[in-house]
Chain A
Amino acid sequence: MRKTALLLLLSTCGSLAFAQQSQKVRGKVLDADNKPVAGATVNIKGSANGTKTDADGSFTLDVAKGKTLKITYVGMKEQEILVNDASTYSIVLQSGTELDEVVVIGYGTVKKSDLTGAVASVTGKDLQSNLAKSAAGALQGRVAGVSVSNAGGSPGAGMNINIRGIGSMGSTNPLYVIDGVFGDINTVDPNDIASLEVLKDASAAAIYGSRAANGVVIITTKGGKRSSPATLSLNAYTGVQSLPKKMKLMDGPQWKQFMRDQKELPPQAESFNANTNWQDEVFETAPVNKVNLDIAGGGERSTYSISGGYLKQKGILKSTGYESFNVRSKNTFNFFNDHLRLGNTFLIKSGDRKYANLVITDILRQNPLLPIYDDKVVGGYSTYAPWMKNLDNPVGNLNLYNNHVYQTDIMLNGYAEVDLFVKGLKYKLNVGINRTNGRNYNKADRRPDGTAQLQSYLNESAFFNNQWLIENTLHYDNTFDKHTISLLAGYSSQENSNRGFGAKRLDIPPGTDAIDAASPAEQSTSGSLQEAAMISQFGRAMYSYDNRYLFTATIRRDGSSKFGNGHRYGVFPSVALGWNVMNEGFFEKAKNTVNEFKIRATYGRLGNQEIANYTTQNITTYGINYIQGGAWWQGAIPGNSWVSPSNLTWEETETSNVGVDLAFLQSKLRISADYYVRNTKDILLSINQPPSAGKSGAPVMNAGTISNKGFEFLASYRDAIGEVNYNIGVNASAVKNKMKAITVGNTQEFGGYNPQGEGTVTWAKVGYPIGGFWLIQTDGLFQSDAEVQAYKSTNGTVIQPTAKAGDIKFVDHNGDGKIDNNDRQYMGSPFPSLAYGIRGGVDYKGVDFGFFFDGMYGNKIYNYTRARMETTGDINNYSIDLLNSWTATNTNTEIPRYTRTDPNSNGRRVSDRWLESGAFFRLKTMELGYTLPNAWLNKVTLKNARIYLAADNLFTVTKYKGYSPDLGPANNDNGVGQTGVMTAGADHGRYPLARTVMFGVQANF
């Protein structure tokens, strides 16, 4: 079929470009008012040859027939002219609009006016990427429908990027394509980003088929320009980070008095007189420094861009930090009159992330009466007294453990693109290789745990991830009269392998730092290999008629090694329609008011296969050991672990999207809006099986359907008053997430976050948002024992018989006359009903000012951190709010009575006592810059230079009582323990986000 189609194409366009002779071409470039345009650039498309128009707009150039001239001028629409037999040309340039910007889509680019899908495009400048510490951080709040949130704020930790709601119970990470290679956004220095495109709907992302269900982020790094001299750019900043907010805790004397008043002060505590403020001891103001240098330029046949960056960041939690450097080189080469184009991007990033496993809530709960140091204790830091809760000494923890991840990422991309013998037809070979090698390093000194001593250890593990990708694509682009077509067909294969091994020995002698230093008496080893492969075929046809009617159809077929034979392939089609209403004849009159008006509608299906490898293969389980005859008895048995069903197959996401793009007031005001419905069926999920089957683990199954419906809105306005230029942009998005159906198992729900096994707080239940909070509702405090007795069910039983005055009244939701977990009800979700960003900028002469606010509304946070500070069972420090505990004389309070036995379970986790509003409004970034006048610069041969003062996370308006309301799914740092989509909005004690103030310089030489 394809062959026939291609031959058909060939026969329709017989004329071949190579065979033509040069001829002299004259032309004149005029604007819409018929005035000559001086200084316009006239280039022969696909070559470095060109000229500029003179004062009366004229130019002369030697051009072969059949070539295309490209005429560009700042502020005007670019125009192309096909050189035919005529020798003079008159070219009229229309005043330019943003619609002529080129947007990067999968395997190609498209003019914005021809775009049919929901694609958000931001430039490096818009991202304020000069300020960002990470590319993901730069993206936060910038794009409607793209939520970037913190897994934990520790330096070098990744962030969660989520496009258009939670569409999967597994991985919700989008696919990242960096200069044509599937990669990781964290390997890209934000300063290297030229543009970043987010493909949000199925039509836009469909060319990536599988892996694209969570959206695609395409990152294009900066490149050089042809025929331009080398430019050296420098961007450097230095800053300080600080903890924006502290939890209010009791100090030593307050705690002692409080416990004495409660008659709960252990007698031994009397002799403890330290007053340690543990928050002050572990958090510090920490420096951050970043330098980027890049050199870019180009000759007639080549361009180059080489950049290097260095980041050194200390964490606000002492002893943590991140240091990395990266080097990137991007080059293009052209041969045979531009008919052969070669290019490459090489990128290397090497980082050292030092993190702490200090449990954040331990800082808050550790007793202020405990001194920091004790030279009688091994390690030199004091340890909890037997009467205290067994919590680590936070300072000791930071100093006695040493945890690093050393990681080097290498990404190599090379491509060759050749024009074939038909005009507009080209073939491209794209090869990408990613390598991530690294080492985890975990060391602990000999240290105390109360009266016990813990053994020192050194645990190291190395990992080697290799990925390669080969893509062959054929492209055909041409315009016939009013018909513009663009065709793409491609084939790709890729393989990914992760190998790792590790070793650990205990009792590593002091002063040594290698595993060999310790005796092998107590050691453990590990190792694994994961391989995955994928083969894909894909094609796309884009057609537009008269710039009015746009049509795109895409299909991709992917085969994945993760599924069993016969179930490996998924086919993912999409179609999109666009209508440039403003180009219609009937719209002519309105065009002065409404400068642009486009309607888009798309539909498509995408796949997701992000599950572990080999889940359908039946294996023998090893390492279930016992002891016989005093020796280790190694156990192994098949049939012990669940195996996924052999017909396990792709998770499919179906998205329908309608959108409109509008521009008013000479295109100064632009508005875009999109509405989408996104249904994911056959979600891949591990499904718990009956424990009575006696097998371990949970098989991954195609388990149910998730629905996301959302609305996105984007508006921007830019104008000038005299010499003051200003712009403002707003993006907002709303998404409703729902578990629609569960197709396996016995119940219509899956449990999620369960803090310390104390009760499952988040659930995915049919009809409700994934990760919604299900809690027992509280209804104030009982003010008297009589009130307790009067609180009865319909059949007259006292609902909370063990309660006393000052205890919490819980709502008996199911009306069964008692309070238990069956009284849980839906109390809200961690996802906002509205997420927004507001961006603005002003510049006047050399001074520029930019700001960016982001915020969320309607989201809830489960504040487990507070739960730990206010729970009264243990002898540890408490929130200062407990000084306001209910007593017979202090009844006007929300804090229940202090009771260690807590017969009423005031401290129960499954209670909305710990649920708070997570709404916030935050000044995410602010930047004040000054561009030095040219007069100064000429003396030091600087082309331009700018200095700036900037701040990140400067202030947050929120009612949330924890450190930060910006809480995506948790990572595993700081003892959080649980991860995954169901931990979003669960504040188990995350590393607090820092406030950063920085000063920087940008200069071009």
Chain B
Amino acid sequence: MTMMKISIKKYTAAAAVLLLMGSCSKDFLNRINPNKPVAEIFWSNEGEVQSAMATVYSPIRGQMYGYYGAYTGYQTMNRADDVWFLIGEERHTWEYVTFLNTAGTAESDFGSLYNGINRANVLLYNIGKVPMDENKKKELIAEASFLRGVYYFLLATNYGDVPLLLIPADVDPENKPSTPEADIWKQVITDFKAAKENLPVTRPAAEAGRVTKGAAIALLGKALVYTKQYGEAETELKALLTAPYNYDLVENFEDNFKDNTKLNKESVWELVYDGKYGSDGIWGSEGPNSRQGFIIPNFAGPAGTGAWFKLVPGISVVRDFIAEERPAGSDTRFDKRMYTSFYWKYSDYETGLTDGAWYGNLSFDKLWTESLAKISVNPGLVYPTVNGKEGRFLIKKYTNFFRNVSGGNSMYDAANTNNNFRLLRFAEVLLLHAEACAKNGNTAGAAASLKRVRDRAGLANKTWANADELMKEIIHQNELEFFFEGHRFFDLKRWYTYQDMKQIFVNNKKQGAENFQPKHYYLPIPESEINTNTKIQQNPLWR
């Protein structure tokens, strides 16, 4: 019996040990994520900084979402009178373009711009500790500063007062209130100046597409023009007209919008796309397998070309294009750029040209017929007549007019998505330079730059009596040169008071012109920020 009791004691003790085993199993519960390396081991060599740099570029190039994304930003930024958005298409776009948007309107790119800023901040914050070549380090710092400057530039122009974050959210997780727009601009200029110091003038082939010193100067000049610091702007921009920079306009305007003439001499900065990278869909921008294709043709192309056909030219841009014909004896009747900007049937309005055929030799008549169902429900969408004939125009710029294949605008075929987006063309440098010169009273400088743009368009030589006349022409050329490139709204905002801008919209029969109010100079801080940031206040105009 005693023996028995002892053995029971042993059993019980063993059982008790078993029960208490949990306390010594710390390792069993310690599970480290095997999918992703932990953050602590990053920042050990230049390669890692280089891969971090790719992520800083990413938000701006997002093919669907992102500031130049076809589904969100690109539709939103084209909210001026040069583009019409067809009824019945994306609801969020409709609200933005007709000035019925609210802080709750979907697909604001506010957040994606800050994604870029945070990544730039993370890179700039950590690069100091990376053992690598010091010159290379300076160049990478310049590149990250450049991109941060771009993101703040876009925030300032679109939203005005916004939070200013210069160190990573990880390091300083506090919510931030908005900083006045003027201070955001100061940061933009600081960043571009820093970029300008250490960016290379040219990139080796292996780095083609990454930003250069020229891009930094161009954007610095643009920021200075936007902030009306014309003197400094003129100096900066002028530097780009001479060596070591050999930017020039391409002879063929069309070459700015074709997939086999990417990164040409007119390109100051392009967003690079290539459908062959990634094959896991187009909608997700930042997945490891996301396809990095150029999607705008799928939105802008006419019906029947594999596109969704959501946009058409505004009425006024057609009117302004046909207002100035080329000199008698020219090979075309109209401004050369018009032939790249719009599809139309040449034989309707002029002789001597062969009518175009696209997307498997479809005639313009065919494109128009297919597109008419969507056009006809838009009240007021009537183009000026030419020679008494009905005006019929569709957007050609940034569609795949150069691919004569059926359904050639469809994003579902990777081969249709290889164009680059020309974010900053030398033509813009010229017009910004002209603008700065005109404002500084340097009429000769303004006229010279203006002439280069007009010459390429095939327009006659012209002289202007004074700076005001020059400015009028600069405004006009900006409208034509950058039709459907997302410039027009920000140009008008820069040049005109609210009343004038509204009148322009009304005169130009812009859709929703009557809804335009001072607050529409800006987009509201989106609800998603207002709801989560304890410190922020809505833009005063939107309160």
Binding site for B on A (CB under 8 A): 2-3, 6-7, 10, 16, 264, 266-269, 386-387, 390, 420-422, 427, 449-455, 472, 474, 489-491, 493, 495, 504-506, 521-526, 528-537, 557, 559-561, 565, 568, 613-614, 617-640, 688-696, 745-747, 749, 757-759, 820-821, 873-875, 900-901
- A491, A529, A749: the one contacting B18 at CB < 8 Å is A491
Q: Are A636 and B87 in contact (CB under 8 A)?
A: no
Rounded to whole Å, the gap between the CB of B152 and the closest CB of chain A is 12
| Given known contacts A559-B29, A620-B37, A875-B373, A452 and B413 CB-to-CB distance under 8 angstroms | yes
Residues on the B chain within 8 Å of A696, using CB? 115, 286
Rounded to whole Å, the gap between the CB of B145 and the closest CB of chain A is 16
Which secondary structure dominates where chain A touches chain B? mixed
The CA-CA distance from A694 to B172 in the complex, in Å, is 12
Q: Are B42 and A387 in contact (CB under 8 A)?
A: no
The CA-CA distance from A347 to B303 in the complex, in Å, is 56
Smallest CB gap from A698: residue in B:
B532
Q: Are B38 and A620 in contact (CB under 8 A)?
A: yes
Q: Are B413 and A387 in contact (CB under 8 A)?
A: no
Q: Are B370 and A386 in contact (CB under 8 A)?
A: yes
Residues on the B chain within 8 Å of A422, using CB? 8
Query: What 3 pairs across the A-B complex have the smallest Cβ distances?
Result: A694-B118, A623-B288, A452-B410
Rounded to whole Å, the gap between the CB of A898 and the closest CB of chain B is 12
Q: A695-B169, A696-B286, A757-B107 are in contact. List 17 more A-B contacts (CB 8 A).
A: A6-B12, A420-B8, A420-B11, A472-B19, A491-B21, A524-B278, A530-B35, A531-B31, A617-B32, A623-B286, A625-B292, A627-B272, A630-B274, A639-B169, A691-B529, A757-B92, A901-B377
Q: Are A640 and B122 in contact (CB under 8 A)?
A: yes
Rounded to whole Å, the gap between the CB of A291 and the closest CB of chain B is 41
Enumerate B387-440 residues with CB–CB distance to A below 8 Å: 406-407, 409-410, 412-414
Q: Are A625 and B58 in contact (CB under 8 A)?
A: yes
Q: Are A690 and B536 in contact (CB under 8 A)?
A: yes
Rounded to whole Å, the gap between the CB of B105 and the closest CB of chain A is 9
23 contacts between A and B (CB under 8 A): A452-B413, A472-B15, A491-B22, A504-B280, A523-B279, A531-B31, A531-B34, A614-B33, A617-B38, A622-B36, A624-B54, A625-B292, A627-B277, A628-B210, A629-B207, A636-B51, A636-B55, A694-B169, A696-B115, A820-B104, A821-B104, A901-B87, A901-B379
Q: Are B208 and A629 in contact (CB under 8 A)?
A: yes
- B12, B42, B121, B531: the one contacting A10 at CB < 8 Å is B12
- A387, A525, A621: the one contacting B289 at CB < 8 Å is A525
Residues on the A chain within 8 Å of B409, using CB? 452
Smallest CB gap from B15: residue in A:
A474
Q: Are B111 and A691 in contact (CB under 8 A)?
A: yes
Q: Are B48 and A636 in contact (CB under 8 A)?
A: yes
Q: Are A637 and B123 in contact (CB under 8 A)?
A: yes
B173 at the interface (CB under 8 A from A): yes
Q: Are A565 and B31 in contact (CB under 8 A)?
A: no
Rounded to whole Å, the gap between the CB of B304 and the closest CB of chain A is 4
B9 at the interface (CB under 8 A from A): yes
The CA-CA distance from A874 to B90 in the complex, in Å, is 11
Residues on the B chain within 8 Å of A268, using CB? 369-370, 372-373
Q: Are B276 and A638 in contact (CB under 8 A)?
A: no
| Given known contacts A386-B304, A449-B306, A695 and B118 CB-to-CB distance under 8 angstroms | yes
Interface string of B119-148 (1 = CB under 8 A from A): 101110000000000000000000000000
Q: Are B52 and A635 in contact (CB under 8 A)?
A: yes
Residues on the B chain within 8 Å of A640, using CB? 55, 115, 118-119, 122
Rounded to whole Å, the gap between the CB of A651 and the closest CB of chain B is 18
The interface stretch among B160-168, B193-201, B216-224, B312-320 is B160-168
Residues on the B chain within 8 Å of A390, using CB? 308
Q: Are B532 and A690 in contact (CB under 8 A)?
A: yes
Q: Are A688 and B304 in contact (CB under 8 A)?
A: no
Q: Are B206 and A387 in contact (CB under 8 A)?
A: no
Residues on the A chain within 8 Å of B289, using CB? 504, 524-526, 623
Q: Are A900 and B87 in contact (CB under 8 A)?
A: yes
- A3, A637, A689: the one contacting B13 at CB < 8 Å is A3
B242 at the interface (CB under 8 A from A): no
Residues on the A chain within 8 Å of B91, using CB? 757-758
B39 at the interface (CB under 8 A from A): yes
Smallest CB gap from B91: residue in A:
A758
Q: Are B25 and A691 in contact (CB under 8 A)?
A: no
Rounded to whole Å, the gap between the CB of B96 and the closest CB of chain A is 13
The CA-CA distance from A521 to B279 in the complex, in Å, is 9
Chain B: how many interface residues by the 8 Å CB criterion?
124
Rounded to whole Å, the gap between the CB of A378 and the closest CB of chain B is 10
The CA-CA distance from A747 to B35 in the complex, in Å, is 34
Q: Are B55 and A637 in contact (CB under 8 A)?
A: yes
Q: Which of B40, B91, B204, B292 gathers most chain A CB within 10 Å? A: B91
A-B contact count (CB 8 A): 345
Q: Are B208 and A264 in contact (CB under 8 A)?
A: no
Residues on the B chain within 8 Å of A531, using CB? 31, 34
- B7, B274, B534: the one contacting A627 at CB < 8 Å is B274
B371 at the interface (CB under 8 A from A): yes
The CA-CA distance from A758 to B533 in the complex, in Å, is 23
Rounded to whole Å, the gap between the CB of A758 and the closest CB of chain B is 6
B114 at the interface (CB under 8 A from A): yes
- B106, B110, B118, B376: the one contacting A639 at CB < 8 Å is B118
Rounded to whole Å, the gap between the CB of A527 and the closest CB of chain B is 8
B463 at the interface (CB under 8 A from A): no
Q: Are A745 and B278 in contact (CB under 8 A)?
A: no
- A561, A622, A746, A758: the one contacting B532 at CB < 8 Å is A746
Smallest CB gap from A614: residue in B:
B33
Residues on the B chain within 8 Å of A2, using CB? 16, 19-20
| Given known contacts A619-B39, A901-B377, A692 and B162 CB-to-CB distance under 8 angstroms | yes
Q: Are A421 and B118 in contact (CB under 8 A)?
A: no
Smallest CB gap from A447: residue in B:
B412
Rounded to whole Å, the gap between the CB of A894 and the closest CB of chain B is 23
| Given known contacts A524-B279, A557-B22, A565-B30, A694 and B38 CB-to-CB distance under 8 angstroms | no
Q: Are B531 and A746 in contact (CB under 8 A)?
A: yes
The CA-CA distance from A498 to B7 in the complex, in Å, is 43
| Given known contacts A626-B272, A900-B87, A266 and B39 CB-to-CB distance under 8 angstroms | no
The CA-CA distance from A291 to B173 in the complex, in Å, is 60
Rounded to whole Å, the gap between the CB of B485 and the closest CB of chain A is 21
Q: Are B4 and A691 in contact (CB under 8 A)?
A: no
Q: Are B114 and A10 in contact (CB under 8 A)?
A: no
Q: Are A561 and B39 in contact (CB under 8 A)?
A: no
Q: Are A387 and B374 in contact (CB under 8 A)?
A: yes
Q: Are B279 and A504 in contact (CB under 8 A)?
A: yes
The CA-CA distance from A692 to B61 in the complex, in Å, is 19
Q: Are B25 and A493 in contact (CB under 8 A)?
A: yes
Residues on the B chain within 8 Å of A619, using CB? 33, 35-39
The CA-CA distance from A532 to B34 in the complex, in Å, is 12
Q: Are A694 and B115 in contact (CB under 8 A)?
A: yes
Q: Are B102 and A821 in contact (CB under 8 A)?
A: yes
Q: Are B374 and A628 in contact (CB under 8 A)?
A: no
Residues on the A chain within 8 Å of B12, using CB? 3, 6-7, 10
Rounded to whole Å, the gap between the CB of A831 and the closest CB of chain B is 25
- B104, B165, B412: the one contacting A454 at CB < 8 Å is B412
Residues on the B chain within 8 Å of A901, using CB? 87, 377-379
The CA-CA distance from A420 to B13 in the complex, in Å, is 13
B45 at the interface (CB under 8 A from A): no
The CA-CA distance from A747 to B527 in the complex, in Å, is 11
| Given known contacts A453-B413, A524-B289, A622-B36, A627 and B273 CB-to-CB distance under 8 angstroms | yes
Rounded to whole Å, the gap between the CB of B178 and the closest CB of chain A is 9
The CA-CA distance from A900 to B87 in the complex, in Å, is 8
The CA-CA distance from A449 to B301 in the complex, in Å, is 14
Smallest CB gap from B410: residue in A:
A452
B458 at the interface (CB under 8 A from A): no
Residues on the B chain within 8 Å of A565, using CB? 26, 30
B176 at the interface (CB under 8 A from A): yes
The CA-CA distance from A875 to B373 in the complex, in Å, is 9
Q: Are A491 and B111 in contact (CB under 8 A)?
A: no
Q: Which of A427, A632, A633 gathers most chain B CB within 10 Å? A: A633
